[in-house]
Amino acid sequence: MDKVCITLNVNGDRYELAVDPWRTLVEVLRDDLNLTGTKIGCQTGDCGACTVLIDGKSVASCMMLAVAADNKNIATIEGLSTGQDELHPIQEAFVEQGAIQCGYCTPGMVLSTKYLLDQNPDPTETEIRQALSGNLCRCTGYHRIVKAVEAVAVKMRADGKGE
């Protein structure tokens, strides 16, 4: 059973790897690339802890073979903020609104929020809740997460950078 040679473009960095075909994307991100910001929860596609963006679209990286991500652009939580010590506005809003407790769901929540705002910069509360319905949180009760998304949507529209 041969390994497969793949190229992953993660947060703008290019990695050439030989991987076992049965390994999932989240396993390769965490174990081979040491990008442990992406979390593993259920491993059955339900919780969203492993959410990453592939060519701009949110996916559950526990349900995707790493070989299926060959040559794609992958965005993980590590690549979201541009500067060394800065946070992305979405991350900032989560901190400010108290939308983080243990933080295990947060990388996935933040990436699902990014995917939502990329498509819809001015979402209603219902649209926010629907957009995050594939991300489970055991701690916050969701209210503050929704508030954080509302706040950052306003801020990003005001700043005029819909990214």
Partner 1 sequence: MSLPKFTYCEPKTLEEAALKLAEYDGRARIVAGGTDLLLGMRRGIAKPEVVISLARIAGANAIVASATELRIGAMATLAEVAQHPLVQQHFPALACAAAVTGTVQIRNMGTVVGNICNASPSADTATPLLIYDAKMIVVAPGGERTVALAEFFRGPGKTALTQGELVKEIVLKLPSGTTRSNYQKLSPRSKVDIAIVGVSALLAFSETGAIRRARIAIGSVAPVPKRALEAENMLEGCQLTPEVIAAVAAVAAKEAAPITDMRASEDYRRSMVAVLTRRALQQNQREQQ
Ligand X SMILES: Cc1cc2nc3c(=O)[nH]c(=O)nc-3n(C[C@H](O)[C@H](O)[C@H](O)COP(=O)(O)OP(=O)(O)OC[C@H]3O[C@@H](n4cnc5c(N)ncnc54)[C@H](O)[C@@H]3O)c2cc1C
Binding residues for ligand X (CB under 6 A): 44-46, 63
User: Residues 19, 35, 60, 65: which binds ligand FES (CB under 6 A)?
Assistant: 60
Considering beta carbons, is residue 41 or 89 the nearer one to ligand FES?
41
User: Residues 46, 92, 127, 150: which binds partner 1 (CB under 8 A)?
Assistant: 46
Q: Which tokens is 72 given?
A: 């794609």
Contact criterion met (CB below 8 Å) for 105 and 138: yes
Pick the closest to residue 113 from 39, 63, 163 (CA basis).
Answer: 163
Considering beta carbons, is residue 91 or 140 the nearer one to ligand FES?
140
Query: Which of partner 1, ligand X, ligand FES, none does 103 bind, CB closer than 5 to 8 A by kind?
Result: ligand FES
Strand 73-75 with 4-10, pairing? parallel
Could you say which DSSP state residue 2 is in?
Answer: -
Considering beta carbons, is residue 61 or 91 the nearer one to ligand X?
61
Considering beta carbons, is residue 46 or 118 the nearer one to ligand X?
46
Distance (Å, rounded) from C-alpha 90 to C-alpha 108?
A: 12
Distance (Å, rounded) from C-alpha 76 to C-alpha 149?
A: 18
Query: Which of ligand X, partner 1, ligand FES, none does 24 bind, CB closer than 5 to 8 A by kind?
Result: partner 1
State yes or no: residue 140 binds ligand FES (CB under 6 A): yes
Distance (Å, rounded) from C-alpha 112 to C-alpha 98?
A: 18
Distance (Å, rounded) from C-alpha 151 to C-alpha 98?
A: 12
Residue 158: its H or E element: helix 143-159
User: Where in 6-45 is the site for partner 1 (CB under 8 A)?
Assistant: 20-24, 27, 43-45
Footprint on this chain of partner 1 (rule: CB under 8 A): 1-2, 4, 20-24, 27, 43-46, 48, 51, 54, 57-60, 63-65, 67-68, 112, 115, 130-131, 133-134
